[in-house]
């Protein structure tokens, strides 16, 4: 059964959570403004997504565990858009220990540091830029919680950079709203086209797309998995 709110959430917490999510989900401002708003609300973020039953990190970690069935303590993961470290919390439950965090919001990374679950904390933005990371560094990248709007605006270069820093045979695991990967959703059409181009170029291979209930606010989510080929 889908539930929009945590059963323990009070009326005041629901109002506070709504205010936080409205501030960071504003579709009418530039990305840089959104990143600043994440910093401004970082101390309330975990509360807000908890009120709204955010299960994206849990599902992301479960799929990562399916991809790596042994020696998880030696698997090196980059958590892109790591935020306050919610994915790291769930990944640790499956035995993943080697993780770096990257996020465009310094404030969110400061909250992640308080959990002490990553080895490195990288303030970084995906775009046309080259990431300051060596080729073939990671065994996997996980991404959880990108909005469709931000994902849609990412140039193909951003995905090429993610592919570059993951070892051949490694994975990129991306979790978001179910509509992000739906052929019926016009908003995400350009995103799906970019992902398909990279597959046609032989840079990565589609592995699976899993739909699950209660991603956040009672809405369905999906986890996509691509394996690196180059």
Tens digits of per-residue pLDDT, 108-125?
999 999 999 999 999 999
Give dist(CA 104, CA 33) in Å, integer.
11
| Residue 227: strand pairing partners | 171, 205
Give dist(CA 166, CA 135) in Å, integer.
7
Q: Tokens at residue 189, please? A: 């059409």
Tell me the Ramachandran region of residue 91: left when phi exceeds 0, alpha when psi lies from -120 to 50, beta otherwise: alpha
For the chain, the structural domain boundaries read 11-51, 56-228
pTM: 0.94
pLDDT(2) > 90: no
Segment 122-143, tens digit of pLDDT: 999 999 999 999 999 999 999 9
The answer to whether 128 touches 153, Cβ cutoff 8 Å, is: no
**Domain boundaries 56-228, corresponding CATH code:** 3.40.50.150
Segment 170-212, tens digit of pLDDT: 999 999 999 888 887 888 899 999 999 999 999 999 999 999 9
Q: Tokens at residue 144, please? A: 């959880």
The answer to whether 5 touches 51, Cβ cutoff 8 Å, is: yes
């Amino acid at each position: 059964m889908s539930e929009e709110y945590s059963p323990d959430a009070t009326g005041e917490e629901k109002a506070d959570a709504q205010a936080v999510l409205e501030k960071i989900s504003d579709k009418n401002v530039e990305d840089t403004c959104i990143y600043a708003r994440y910093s401004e609300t970082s101390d309330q973020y975990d509360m807000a997504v908890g009120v709204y039953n955010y299960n994206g990190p849990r599902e992301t970690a479960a799929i990562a565990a399916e991809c790596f069935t042994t020696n998880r303590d030696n698997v090196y993961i980059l958590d892109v858009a790591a935020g306050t470290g919610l994915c790291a919390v769930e990944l640790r439950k499956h035995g993943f220990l080697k993780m770096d965090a990257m996020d465009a919001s310094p404030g969110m990374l400061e909250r992640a540091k308080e959990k002490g679950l990553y080895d490195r904390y990288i303030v970084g933005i995906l775009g046309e830029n080259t990431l300051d990371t060596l080729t073939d560094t990671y065994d996997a990248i996980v991404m959880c919680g990108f909005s469709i709007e931000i994902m849609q605006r990412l140039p193909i270069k951003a995905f090429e950079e993610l592919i570059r820093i993951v070892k051949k045979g490694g994975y990129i695991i991306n979790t978001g709203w179910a509509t992000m990967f739906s052929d019926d959703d016009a908003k995400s059409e350009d995103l799906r086209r970019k992902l398909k181009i990279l597959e046609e170029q032989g840079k990565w291979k589609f592995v699976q797309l899993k739909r699950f209930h209660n991603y956040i606010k009672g809405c369905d989510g999906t986890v996509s998995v691509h394996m690196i080929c180059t």
